Structure 1
Amino acid sequence: PLGPAPTFGPREAAPGAWRPRAVLETLRLSRQEISAAAEVVNRVVDHLVQRLQRCESEFRGVTLLRTGSYYERVKISSPNEFDVMFKLEVPRIQLEEYCNSGAHYFVKFKRNPKGNPLSEFLEEEILSASKMLSKFRKIIKEEIKHIEDTDVIVERKRRGSPAVTLLISKPKEIAVDIILALESKSSWPASTKEGLPIDNWLGVKVRNTLRRQPFYLVPKHAKEGNGFQEETWRLSFSHIEKDILKNHGQSKTCCEINGVKCCRKDCLKLMKYLLEQLKKKFRNRKELDKFCSYHVKTAFLHVCTRDPADSQWRCEDLELCFGSCVAYFLHCLETERLEHYFIPGVNLFSPHQIEKPSKEFLSKQIEYERSNGFPVFGEF
C-alpha cells in the first residue's frame, strides 16, 4: 500500500508567485474551436462505424465508446487530439494472465462452436491481438478513401501502439486515435480485486456498481525482452475513469449547477499541462519519452482517494491542492512507485517500466518549477 504522501502547510507555498487561475484561463478551449473539431471527428468516426457495421467483416458488431480527455472534460491546449474506442462484444471468453503481469492477458474462447466470427484471428486457441489489429487497420485504410470533403490519412503504425491513428488535415490538423477494444461482460479479472480504492471517497455502493460494468481489452502488447508479445491484450478501464471524473464529488451535487464547485478537475488539468510543457521543453532529450498523461491521471486519482472530502478541494484552495498533487507525484517518482489505480499489483513506475535516471530527471525539473513558481506554464 502507498504510504501517506507529504502535504504542505500554507507557509510553504512556493516563492515565485504564479496565478493558477490565469494559467487555466489560457487552457480553456473556446467552445467554437471544440465544436468545430468535434464535428469533423464525429463525421469521420461515424462514417467508419457505419461502414464497419455494414461490411461483411468480423467487425460488423462494433459500436462506439467515447473515452479520453475530451469526453472527460479535462482536455487542455488545443482540440487537436481525440481518442475513440471501437468496441466489439466478445461473449464467452477465457483470460489467461501473461507472466503474472496483472494487466496483460491471452484471450481464448470457452466453447468454439463453428460460428465463431473471429476464428480467422486465432493462433492455435489464442485470439491474436496483432492479427486482429492489422485486419482492423486494413479495413480502416480502405474506408477512409470513401470519406468526402475531408482529407484523412492513416499514420504509419507505431510499434507497440494499440491505436490506428488518423490524421485529418482539413479543415485543420487533428489526430484521432482509434482503438479497437474487446468488451467482456464477465466479472473483472482477479488482479483488479483490490483496485479502484474509492470506498471512502465515492462510496462502497458506487464501487460495486462500477465493478458490475463490462471491462475492455485493447491490443496493447506486453513487453517481452526487447520486443513485444504480440498476441497479448491489455485491460482498459478508461470508461470507468470517465465515470469517476464526471461524478467526482463525495457529495452527489459537487460541481453541479447549484452545487458547490471543487477544484479537482482543475488540478488534473494543471498536472497534465505541467507534464505536457516539460515534454515540449525537453523534446530533444529522451528522458521524458516514457511519461504520459496517464501517469499524471493515476497519481491524481490516488490523491483523490487519500483526500476524499470535497472540503479538501475547495476552489479557493486551488494552489494548495495543486501543490499537494505535485508533491504526491514527486513522491511517486522518488520512491519509484505508482500503483495502477485498477490493478494495484502493477507498478507504473517500476524500474522495468521507466529507468531511474528518467524519473530523477523529471523529478528535478518539477522541483525546479515548483521552487520558481512554474515558469514553464508561460513558455511555448
Structure 2
Amino acid sequence: MPGRCPSRASVLLTRPTRTAPGSPSPRLPHVPHIRGAREGVYRWLKKATYKGSWPSIFGRNPRERRWAQGPKGERKRQARLMGGKAARDVGRVGKKHAQGQTRRKPGHRKALAAALDPTAYCETPVYNPDLCPNMIAAQAKLVYHLNKYYNEKCQARKAAIAKTIREVCKVVSDVLKEVEVQEPRFISSLNEMDNRYEGLEVISPTEFEVVLYLNQMGVFNFVDDGSLPGCAVLKLSDGRKRSMSLWVEFITASGYLSARKIRSRFQTLVAQAVDKCSYRDVVKMVADTSEVKLRIRDRYVVQITPAFKCTGIWPRSAAHWPLPHIPWPGPNRVAEVKAEGFNLLSKECHSLAGKQSSAESDAWVLQFAEAENRLQMGGCRKKCLSILKTLRDRHLELPGQPLNNYHMKTLVSYECEKHPRESDWDESCLGDRLNGILLQLISCLQCRRCPHYFLPNLDLFQGKPHSALENAAKQTWRLAREILTNPKSLEKL
C-alpha cells in the first residue's frame, strides 16, 4: 500500500560476515545494500511501496532492464532522463564509440561527457532545475533542493537558536556567579569563544545542556571495566590521600568520588542562587528530578551538569575504536580525537535504572562531545547533520520524545564509517548520504536499538516506549519517501 512503512523483514537483511568500505557497520542494524546509492533506493522503494507502479527510469520491460545494466546502461539511463536530442546523440555516439567507429575529433570525449552529465561542464555551479528540467540529472536535482533547504530552513533555525542561546546564557551565567560566591569550587566555565559557548549542547530549540567543568579530581583511579554501560567510577588510589582531594566530603566510605553527592550539593547551591540572582523573576528550578534544571521564561529548559574533563586518556570501553578494517578516520585524525579525550558527567544514567549498589549509584556518565565534533569536520558532514536536525525539529518531535539530535549525530558518524573516502562527502553526494542515514534510522527504530558510536554496548533507545519508536519509524519512512521520490517537496517540509 502506498505510504505504508515497510515491515521489519523487508528492511533487515542478513548481516555480512566482514565489513568492507562502503558496507554497513556490523554494530548497526543492517539496511538493504545501496548500489550506486540512488538506484538501489529507488528499486527498494518500488518493491516496498509502489508495487510496480513506479514510473521506472530503469527500463519499461525485462529486455530493456537487462540492457540497462552496466556502463552502457548507465549512459542510456542518464540520456533518457535528459530526453530529446540528447538521448539520441548519446545513444548514437555511445554505440559507435563502443564499436570503435567514432572519429577522434577534437573535444569529442568532452562532448560525450557533457552529454552524459550536463552539470559537469556547466559554467555556473548553481543549478535551477525549474529552468531546464530535462537537462538536470535526478541526483543534482536532489542536491539543489537540499542546498536550498539548508540555506533557507537550516540557516533560519541556526539564527533562531543562536538568539535563544544568548538570552539563555545571560541568565545561566548570572546564576552560576551566585553559586561561585557561595562555593568557590564550582567556578563558572560558561565562556564565549568564537561565537560559541564552551560546554553548551543544544538538545532541541527549547532544551539545552550546560556542562560545568570542575577543577582537579585529586588522586583517583579511573575505573572503566565495562560492567556499567556508558559509565565509569572514580576510586581513591590511596586511602591515606583522602585529605589531599579538593572534594574530600564527597568521597564515600568505599573510596569512590560520588557523582550523586556532588550533584545533590550543586542542586542545593543553584536553588539558593536562583532566589538571589537578578533574573529571579524569569527563572525557576524544575522540581521532581535529581538533575539541576532551570526553566527560563516558561519557554526554555536548561540542564546544568557538573563534570570533569579527561584529556590525554581514552576509556577502555571504547578501546575497540577505530575498527581495524575500516580506513576512516585516518591515523592523524584518530590521534587528535583521542587527545581531545572525554568528559565525566554527574547526571542520571538510564542504563543503571533499578541498580542499587553504591558504586553504581555514584557512577559518572561518559560523554564524547568534543571528539564527535572533531570527527565530523570536513566535507558535507556538518551540512548533512544540520539538515537532519532541522527535519527532526520540524517533523519528528513526537510524543514520548523517541528521537533527539544526538541520535542524528550518532548516525552521521556511522555513515562516515560506511563511506570512508573524502570524495564520498563532496557536496554532490549530499543527497546520497542523507538517504543512507534516513534508511539506517528507520532500521534502528524498527529494531528498537541504536548503539552509541564509541560505546556500542550502550543503547541510545533504552527506556524509550516501543509505541513511540514505532510511530517514529513510520513518520521517518514517510519523510524519507517524500524526499526520495519528490525532492521539490523539501520546499514544504
The normalised TM-score by structure 1 is 0.75
Task: Please state how far the C-alpha of 1:57 moved relative to its aligned partner.
Answer: 4.6
1:130 to 238, 250, 260: 260
Q: Output the CA distance in 1 between the equivalents of 2:225 and 2:348.
A: 10
Q: Output the CA distance in 1 between the equivalents of 2:182 and 2:312.
A: 28
Q: Output the CA distance in 2 between the equivalents of 1:202 and 1:97.
A: 24
Task: Please state how far the C-alpha of 1:182 moved relative to its aligned partner.
Answer: 1.9
Q: Mark the CA change 1:149 to 1:137 in structure 2 (over 3 Å): closer, same or farther.
A: closer
Task: Please state how far the C-alpha of 1:142 moved relative to its aligned partner.
Answer: 1.8
Which residue in the other structure is 1:292 paired with? 404
Which residue in the other structure is 2:393 paired with? 276
Which residue in the other structure is 2:230 paired with? 103
8 Å contact 1:76–1:273 — kept in the other structure?
Answer: no
Task: Please state how far the C-alpha of 1:377 moved relative to its aligned partner.
Answer: 8.3
Deviations along 1:27-67, one digit per CA (max 9) or x if unpaired, are 3237865554343333334334444444445424x534789
Task: Please state how far the C-alpha of 1:235 moved relative to its aligned partner.
Answer: 0.6
8 Å contact 1:121–1:127 — kept in the other structure?
Answer: yes
8 Å contact 1:298–1:341 — kept in the other structure?
Answer: yes
Deviations along 1:293-345, one digit per CA (max 9) or x if unpaired, are 21221111110122123322232443222112112222333455533212233
SS of match in other structure, 1:345:
coil
Which residue in the other structure is 1:2 paired with? 27
Deviations along 1:103-148, one digit per CA (max 9) or x if unpaired, are 1123222233423232222332222222211211221222233433
Structure number with the higher strand fraction is 1
Matched, 1:201 2:328: yes
Q: Output the CA distance in 2 between the equivalents of 1:219 and 1:76.
A: 17
Task: Please state how far the C-alpha of 1:218 moved relative to its aligned partner.
Answer: 0.9
Q: Output the CA distance in 2 between the equivalents of 1:103 and 1:338.
A: 13
8 Å contact 1:28–1:77 — kept in the other structure?
Answer: no
8 Å contact 1:76–1:269 — kept in the other structure?
Answer: no
Which residue in the other structure is 2:414 paired with? 302
8 Å contact 1:66–1:84 — kept in the other structure?
Answer: no
SS of match in other structure, 2:321:
coil
Q: Output the CA distance in 2 between the equivalents of 1:336 and 1:360.
A: 8
Structure number with the higher helix fraction is 2
Letter of the 1:338 counterpart: C
Matched, 1:232 2:363: yes
Which residue in the other structure is 1:184 paired with? 310
SS of match in other structure, 2:343:
strand
Q: Output the CA distance in 2 between the equivalents of 1:376 and 1:127.
A: 50
Letter of the 1:115 counterpart: M
Q: Output the CA distance in 1 between the equivalents of 2:418 and 2:457.
A: 18
Which residue in the other structure is 1:165 paired with? 293
Q: Output the CA distance in 1 between the equivalents of 2:426 and 2:201.
A: 18
Q: Output the CA distance in 1 between the equivalents of 2:186 and 2:389.
A: 34
8 Å contact 2:226–2:317 — kept in the other structure?
Answer: no
Q: Mark the CA change 1:316 to 1:210 in structure 2 (over 3 Å): closer, same or farther.
A: closer
Bigger Cα Rg? 2
8 Å contact 2:203–2:404 — kept in the other structure?
Answer: no
Q: Output the CA distance in 1 between the equivalents of 2:204 and 2:229.
A: 34
Q: Output the CA distance in 2 between the equivalents of 1:130 and 1:194.
A: 29
8 Å contact 1:91–1:185 — kept in the other structure?
Answer: no
SS of match in other structure, 2:243:
coil
SS of match in other structure, 2:156:
coil
Q: Output the CA distance in 1 between the equivalents of 2:203 and 2:311.
A: 33
1:119 to 216, 230, 248: 248
Report the more deviating stretch, 90-99 or 11-20: 11-20
Which residue in the other structure is 2:451 paired with? 339
The normalised TM-score by structure 2 is 0.60
SS of match in other structure, 2:340:
coil
SS of match in other structure, 2:244:
coil
Which residue in the other structure is 1:311 paired with? 423
5+ residue gaps in structure 1? 250-261
* RCO higher in structure (CA 8 A, sep ≥6): 1
Matched, 1:348 2:376: no
Which residue in the other structure is 1:267 paired with? 384
SS of match in other structure, 1:176:
strand
CA-atom RMSD in angstroms: 3.8
Task: Please state how far the C-alpha of 1:204 moved relative to its aligned partner.
Answer: 0.9
Matched, 1:154 2:281: no
Amino-acid identity (%)? 21
1:23 to 149, 154, 166: 149
Which residue in the other structure is 1:254 paired with? none
Letter of the 1:155 counterpart: M
8 Å contact 2:231–2:363 — kept in the other structure?
Answer: yes
Letter of the 2:251 counterpart: L
Matched, 1:221 2:360: no
Q: Output the CA distance in 2 between the equivalents of 1:208 and 1:36.
A: 35
8 Å contact 1:65–1:85 — kept in the other structure?
Answer: no
Q: Mark the CA change 1:122 to 1:146 in structure 2 (over 3 Å): closer, same or farther.
A: same
2:434 to 322, 329, 348: 322
Q: Mark the CA change 1:75 to 1:212 in structure 2 (over 3 Å): closer, same or farther.
A: closer
Q: Mark the CA change 1:121 to 1:264 in structure 2 (over 3 Å): closer, same or farther.
A: same
Which residue in the other structure is 1:259 paired with? none
Report the more deviating stretch, 224-233 or 124-133: 224-233
